[in-house]
Amino acid sequence: MKADKIVLGVLGGLAAGAILGIMLAPDKGDKTRKRIMDKSNDYADELKDKLDTLLSSINKKYEKIWSEGESMISEGKSKFYDAKNEGENLIAEGKSKFYDTKNEIKNTSI
């Protein structure tokens, strides 16, 4: 939203400056039109620079967020596989203890 306000402000300033330039121009039409054109080109260049800066800033933030997201996904996968392996180990250990106990009971004479 802030970028929209900046763009609208610059465009509004351009229009107001052009109108005031025409109304208050002490020079002939050719000179006035040239001055208006020069001034509008200056404003256009300034606007382009601001938009380039804004786009660069947005791009950097996007890349940072993307990188952080990839890191979080990688970390999450790693933790998931660690938990999965730990669970499988616990299951294997539980089965082993179960069968050991079962064999002890079978081998015990009552």
Per-residue model confidence as pLDDT tens digits over 36-93: 788 888 888 988 999 999 999 999 999 999 999 999 999 999 999 999 999 999 999 9
Instruction: Give the list of residues 6+ apart from residue 14 with CB closer than 8 angstroms, or none.
Output: 40, 43
d(CA 95, CA 83): 18
Is 43:14 a contact under the CB 8 Å cutoff?
Answer: yes
pTM of the full structure: 0.48
pLDDT of residue 39: 83
pLDDT of residue 16: 80
d(CA 40, CA 15): 9
Q: What is the mean pLDDT of residues 26-37?
A: 75
